[in-house]
Amino acid sequence: MAHLFIGEVLTHGGTAVDATAGNGYDTLFLTRQVGPAGRVYAFDVQEQALLKTRKLLEEHSLAWQVTLFQAGHEEMDRLVCGPVDAVLYNLGYLPGASHELITQPETTIASLRAAIGLLSRGGRIGLVGYPGHPGGEAECNAVIQFASCLDHALYSVIKISMVNRAGNAPVVILIEEGSR
């Protein structure tokens, strides 16, 4: 659903940020969306994640379209020249790596503030959170709390929850600059 939502506004020539490069699948999706005339910026604090992301992009001959930053996503307003059409977050830990190194509520909220500041008119943010791992629920609650307080005259915010799953199922938050 996050890809569907982002794909609607992120077209050829657009600019996008993958806040959490991880294994690179979201970066690949964004890069395909913007095409050769577009630009993608991807963040991760772990070198291992950026190496995997670069490898995946190289396999698809798309690495030249992407700028990789080994930095926290909360630094995106310092490192990315806006406006950007879309920002994607996939919170939690790097699949296959240590579960101790996880995204944190403070930096995630700081990053969301930065992302909102970079967003173009009609731009969108898609975020997937995971309440199932230690610390994950607190982070998801912080994101929902932050998103709930965004002025509805300026931002449309929706939450997607899987109602026939256990309470620790992933949650998706989608933010659009502009009201409906």
Comparing CA positions, the residue from 77, 76, 136 lying closest to residue 104 is: 136
* 64 contacts: CB under 8 Å, gap ≥ 6: none
Region from 12-20, 90-98, 132-140, 159-167 binding its own copies, contact rule CB under 8 A: 159-167
Among 113, 150, 168, 178, binds its own copies (CB under 8 A): 150
- Contact status: 58 vs its own copies (CB under 8 A): no
C-beta closer to its own copies: residue 110 or 150:
150
- Contact status: 3 vs its own copies (CB under 8 A): no
> Backbone phi, then psi, for 40, in 5-degree steps?
-125, 135
C-beta closer to its own copies: residue 79 or 144:
144
- Contact status: 167 vs its own copies (CB under 8 A): no
- Contact status: 163 vs its own copies (CB under 8 A): yes
- Contact status: 9 vs its own copies (CB under 8 A): no
Residue type, 145: Q
- Contact status: 164 vs its own copies (CB under 8 A): yes
User: What are 42's strand-pairing partners?
Assistant: 18, 68
Region from 37-45, 86-94, 107-115, 155-163 binding its own copies, contact rule CB under 8 A: 155-163
- Contact status: 148 vs its own copies (CB under 8 A): yes
d(CA 164, CA 177): 30
Sign of the torsion formed by the C-alpha atoms of 169, 95, 56 and 129: positive
- Contact status: 109 vs its own copies (CB under 8 A): no
- Contact status: 155 vs its own copies (CB under 8 A): yes
Region from 94-102, 110-118, 125-133, 156-164 binding its own copies, contact rule CB under 8 A: 156-164
Judged on CB neighbours under 10 Å (0-12, 13-18, 19+), 163 is exposed
Q: What is the dihedral of CA 96, 99, 100, 105, to 10 degrees?
A: 110
- Contact status: 165 vs its own copies (CB under 8 A): yes
Q: Which two tokens stand for residue 169?
A: 């199922």
First and final C-alpha spacing in the chain: 19
Binding site for its own copies (CB under 8 A): 1, 4-5, 8, 144, 147-152, 155-165, 173
